[in-house]
Amino acid sequence: MAEAMTDATAAAARVAPAGAALALDNVASGYGAVSIVKGVSLSVAPGEIVALLGKNGMGKTTLLKTILGMVALRGGGITIDGQALGTLSPAKLVALGVGYAPQEQPLFQDLSIRDNLRLAVPSDRHLPAALERLFGHFPFLKDRLAQRAGTLSGGEQKMLILGRALMLRPRLLLIDEISEGVQPSMVERLRKVLLAERDGGLSMLVVEQHVAFALGLADRYAVLKLGEIVDSGSTKAPDAQARVIDHLAV
Amino acid sequence: MLLTLDILTTAAILFIVSIGLLAIFGVLKIINFAHGAWLTVGAYCAVVTAKLGLNPWLALPLAFLVGAVLGGIAEHFIIRPLYRRPLDAILATWGLGIVVGQLVTLGLGRDVQLTPNLYAGTVAFLGVDYSAYRLVALGIALVIGTMFALAIERTRLGLSARAVIMNETLARSLGIDTGRVRLVVFMIGAGLAALAGVLLTPLTSVDPNMGVAWLIGAFMLVMVADASYLALAAACLVFGAAQVLISTFVSPILGSIAIAVLAALVLRISPKGFSRA
């Protein structure tokens, strides 16, 4: 289906400026005999937020997992801060400064919030500083460390997931549908935290289905359809929202 | 009274034998059919210690060390390449168990070996004369169980192991070196099996195939316990009691298959076994 993508779109997507925080070049991946991501080229500049939009089953999560090395790369290349990712383990990626806020089964529901956070730092030594940072973003967690993570509300869980990903001061953050099922006031809180982090120099690739949230947050967007990028551009373009909604319509 | 002590000490011995298998099952999601082989190796550590004329208690740390080192080697070269093929891994551990049994036969002969009792004699306990060693074994089981619980609940390795048991994908994505967790848990599990082998020597004869019978019982108990050490303790008590009672009042032969039959029944009625309690 590569021919469905216009040359202009392909060229726009492939602009990978030198020193990109994340650069994907013709990335392909999938599970078993099924090909999910079919040649995606995309870049995120330092301090930039790129929104990756698309409906369910279009390959957004698989693309994130491919960047993280959780799904095998079958073609193309991925570089982070100019460093090519061959077979780096997730542990090495964390050390490189890559944070991840997953969507599916993102928390150990039966463990306490503290234990959930302990598992995200390389050793308990790092925990106090990481917690300070977390409470800076989400103070409500301070008094609830002993509580089981599964007892938090949906929105609170999302804050814990985002806070956990930010604890170790990542340089690149991959976020999977952080606004899903979250009430508007909490979405706004998430947005403010993310924008503050962006202004601090953090680069982000934000997978979303919530168009208004994604376009209000990101600098650029790309639309993924059946494993390929079918549209991309600046979120400031006057027709951006109309184009994205058009792509997401059935 | 005698019966109560028999039940408690039988449960203790079952617990010592199966706790290592449980740890490996929980974290690596495979049944390590070489468990019986580590147990045999541990028992032979006691034989060798006795032949060298050393203090028989030295066999305990020696067996744990030998079991852990051999387990580490096995994990690295045999189990690890089969992570994504759990059925093949089970088959491989079964084969490994046979190989280890044969190596023991080659090195030390197929004869039944005798070892000095770690703690001989009887003691008067709550009005009955009882085997001192079985009481010691009960104490050791409580110590091992407590240390295991503390390691699981209080240490970072224990937390990582629980994380891998609950959701390995998430644990990996958070940067936990799940390969290391698997290796260490396998080493501890194999070490505990070898330790159990030493502790069994005063109660049973030592021969190259001694591990197999214990493996079957431990396997059944772990299936019923489903990766929870508290459920394992409960299963050991219930099935140990059944074994003792059937052996005493019906027939020792029926008693020896009680665990297998009961485990099959429990799993038929409740597939998650005792872990739901």
At A149, list the tokens: 């993570």
Min mean pLDDT across A120-129, A169-178, B224-233 is at B224-233
Q: Is A122 on the interface with B (CB under 8 A)?
A: yes
Per residue in A14-59, pLDDT (tens digit) is 444 557 899 999 999 999 889 999 999 999 999 999 999 999 889 9
Per residue in B106-122, pLDDT (tens digit) is 988 888 887 777 777 88
Choosing among 3.40.190.10, 3.40.50.300, 3.40.710.10, 3.40.30.10, the CATH entry for A7-97+170-249 is: 3.40.50.300
| Residue A99 pLDDT exceeds 90 | yes
Q: Is B272 on the interface with A (CB under 8 A)?
A: no
Q: Give the contacts of A109 (CB within 8 A, at least 6 positions apart).
A: A148, A149, A150
Q: Is B171 on the interface with A (CB under 8 A)?
A: yes
Alpha carbons A224 and A55: distance in angstroms, whole number: 8
Q: Is A93 on the interface with B (CB under 8 A)?
A: yes
| Residue B205 pLDDT exceeds 90 | no
What does the pLDDT read at residue A250?
A: 62
Min mean pLDDT across A15-24, B124-133, B200-209 is at A15-24
Q: Is A127 on the interface with B (CB under 8 A)?
A: no
Alpha carbons B81 and A158: distance in angstroms, whole number: 36
Q: Which of B170, B181, B228 to mutate to test the interface with A (most CBs of A within 10 A)?
A: B170
Please state the φ and ψ torsions of residue B76, each to the nearest 5 degrees: -65, -45
Per residue in A149-166, pLDDT (tens digit) is 999 999 999 999 999 999
Q: What is the DSSP letter of B155?
A: S
Per residue in A210-223, pLDDT (tens digit) is 999 999 999 999 99
Q: Do B177 and A124 touch (CB under 8 A)?
A: no
What does the pLDDT read at residue B227?
A: 78
Burial B237-252 (b: 16+ CB within 10 A, else e): bbbbbbbbebbeeeee
Q: Which of B156, B172, B177 sits opposite A124 (nearest CB)?
A: B156
Q: Do A119 and B173 touch (CB under 8 A)?
A: no
**For residue A171, what pLDDT band results from cuts at 50, 70 and 90?**
very high
CB A179 within 8 A of CB A208: yes
Annotated domain spans of chain A: 7-97+170-249, 104-154
Q: Is B173 on the interface with A (CB under 8 A)?
A: yes
Alpha carbons A188 and B224: distance in angstroms, whole number: 48
Chain A residues whose beta carbon lies within 8 Å of the beta carbon of residue B227: none
What does the pLDDT read at residue A11?
A: 42
Q: Which of B159, B169, B172 sits opposite A115 (nearest CB)?
A: B159
Q: Is A31 on the interface with B (CB under 8 A)?
A: no
Q: Is A68 on the interface with B (CB under 8 A)?
A: yes
Instruction: Pick the closest to residue B231 from B178, B274, B176 (CA basis).
Output: B274
CA-CA-CA-CA torsion sign (A122, A124, A129, A135) = positive
Alpha carbons A49 and A203: distance in angstroms, whole number: 6
Nearest-CA residue of chain A relative to B170? A106
Q: Do A70 and B159 touch (CB under 8 A)?
A: no
Strands A83-84, A73-80: pairing kind: antiparallel
